Amino acid sequence: MDTKEVTLRPEFEKAIADMEYTELTDIQEKCIPLIQEGKDIIGLAYTGSGKTAAYGLPSLEKVVPKDGIQMLVVVPTRELCTQVAREFRKFTKYRKTHIVEIYGGMPMGPQVTNLRQGDVVVGTPGRVLDHLSRGTFDLYEVKVLVLDEADKMFDMGFIEDIKKIIAEIPKNSQKLLFGATMPGEIMKIVKKYLDNPEKVTLKQYVDRTKLAQSYYEIDKGDKFSLLVHLLKKESKGPMLIFCGTRDIVDSVNANLNKQGINSQALHGGVTQNRRNQIMDAFKDGKINVLVATDVAARGIDVKNIDVVINYDLPRESEGYIHRIGRTARAGCEGKAISLLTARDRTNMRIIFGDNYLSIHKMKNPQFEHVRFVMMERESKPYRGRQQGGGGRPASKYKSFSRSRNNKRW
């Protein structure tokens, strides 16, 4: 492997050779030597840049197996937690290190048992605090703390949880923060807790030669019909559809199933066991289409996604780049398609003004109009975030038909 002057311990070199790594990415080349030197890091990197290996490999080198919990990685979602832990196990194939995942939606008992043998913990903020409050593990011996996708944790309201976790970490521990952006609140944490950190910035870059980006302007009432047309036209490989809310995810998925399209919904309201089943089926090709929210899609690591469709447009270019970064990976080609209605014009101007993007308007094709039934969530009292990273309770749904005649589009 071409490591570009970067040297790893032999057992890690052997492990990544087994993973068929051919060369380091830019973020890995920049971060690994700094982390090996013990520097605190602020890393600005986009999805698919290889940041898990960038912070994982040099940090795991510092962990001595069977010597207590020495590394903590905090992530915003269960999916990303599982992904990071899975990669860490591959990295430590020849240096047996016990990696423990802790997140909400799963029983505490097995997590407690695993923590007793743990060397490295990867967890969501709520469940990490839950275990700390119960005394099932402590952070006194932690050498390295990683906050992965710190900006997303801020967006999800975890900023106070992050502060509480950092307060439990030894002051002389190494601290690594990664995200696509660094909001003001995150920078306050940087100034208070990090020791003269090195800033590593990667331009948010999209390879225009590999990723074809396009959009359609469509009336809201025709958006789902166009989606069905495109899915049937593009149905060659795995496809990922992004929607703005859980309700829309559930509604789009249910209506796609009625059209004979093999899709599944993925969002925070889906149980963890079911999430795991859905992701395994998607990776194995048993599900062709995944309909997801942004938060649920964090941690999706499927390398052969052919098409990403923005059913709802995100609010900023960073979110758009995170989404389309799910396709055209590892030198493969991919497509990113956005369906825009009148309400998307403001977001469209923000996103399409990014000089790194090259997005082409498409002529609307002829397509059959199909019926769309929106699933309306029945209101229930909201008791706030549950301990352990839980969320809103499961809701029942009632359906109503939308049509041009009743003007409920």
**Domain-located, residue 146:** yes
The range of the structural domain enclosing residue 106 comes to 10-201
Phi, psi of 150 (to 5 degrees): -60, -35
Distance CA(301)–CA(48), nearest Å, equals: 9
Q: Are residues 124 and 216 in the same domain?
A: no
Helices H, strands E: what count in the chain?
A: 15, 16
**Domain-located, residue 5:** no
**Domain-located, residue 163:** yes
Instruction: List the structure tokens of 107.
Output: 């029983």
Instruction: List the structure tokens of 36.
Output: 């090996």
Q: Are residues 44 and 169 in the same domain?
A: yes
Distance CA(279)–CA(266), nearest Å, equals: 9
For 135-176, give the DSSP string: TS---TT--EEEEETHHHHHHTT-HHHHHHHHHTS-TTSEEE
**Domain-located, residue 409:** no
Distance CA(385)–CA(334), nearest Å, equals: 37
- Among residues 201, 219, 240, the one where a domain terminates is 201
Number of domains in the chain: 2
Q: Are residues 229 and 166 in the same domain?
A: no
Q: Are residues 345 and 236 in the same domain?
A: yes
Q: By the 8 A CB rule, do 107 and 390 touch?
A: no
Q: Are residues 64 and 170 in the same domain?
A: yes
**Domain-located, residue 122:** yes
Tallying the residues shown for the chain, one arrives at: 409
- Among residues 201, 232, 256, the one where a domain terminates is 201
Q: Are residues 162 and 288 in the same domain?
A: no
Q: Are residues 197 and 217 in the same domain?
A: no
Q: Are residues 164 and 94 in the same domain?
A: yes
Q: Are residues 154 and 246 in the same domain?
A: no
**Domain-located, residue 206:** no
**Domain-located, residue 2:** no
Please tell me the predicted confidence (pLDDT) of residue 297. 63
- Among residues 173, 201, 229, the one where a domain terminates is 201
Q: Are residues 216 and 194 in the same domain?
A: no
Supply the CATH number for residue 282's domain. 3.40.50.300
Closest CA to 197 of 76, 42, 357: 42
Distance CA(162)–CA(393), nearest Å, equals: 24
**Domain-located, residue 408:** no
Please tell me the predicted confidence (pLDDT) of residue 345. 80
Phi, psi of 387 (to 5 degrees): -65, 145
Q: Are residues 238 and 95 in the same domain?
A: no
For 54-89, give the DSSP string: HHHHHHHTT--TTS---EEEE-SSHHHHHHHHHHHH
Q: Are residues 160 and 308 in the same domain?
A: no
**Per-residue pLDDT reduced to its tens digit, 364-404:** 999 999 999 988 665 444 344 433 344 333 333 333 333 33
- Residue-level pLDDT, tens digit, the chain, 409 residues: 445 578 999 999 999 989 877 778 888 999 999 999 999 999 987 666 788 999 999 999 999 999 999 999 999 988 889 989 999 999 999 999 999 999 998 899 999 999 999 999 999 999 999 999 999 999 999 999 999 989 888 888 899 999 999 999 999 999 999 987 788 888 889 999 999 999 998 765 555 667 888 999 999 999 999 999 999 887 677 899 999 899 999 999 999 999 999 999 998 888 878 888 898 888 888 898 999 988 766 656 666 788 999 999 887 776 777 787 777 665 567 888 999 999 888 888 777 766 556 788 999 999 999 999 988 665 444 344 433 344 333 333 333 333 333 333 2
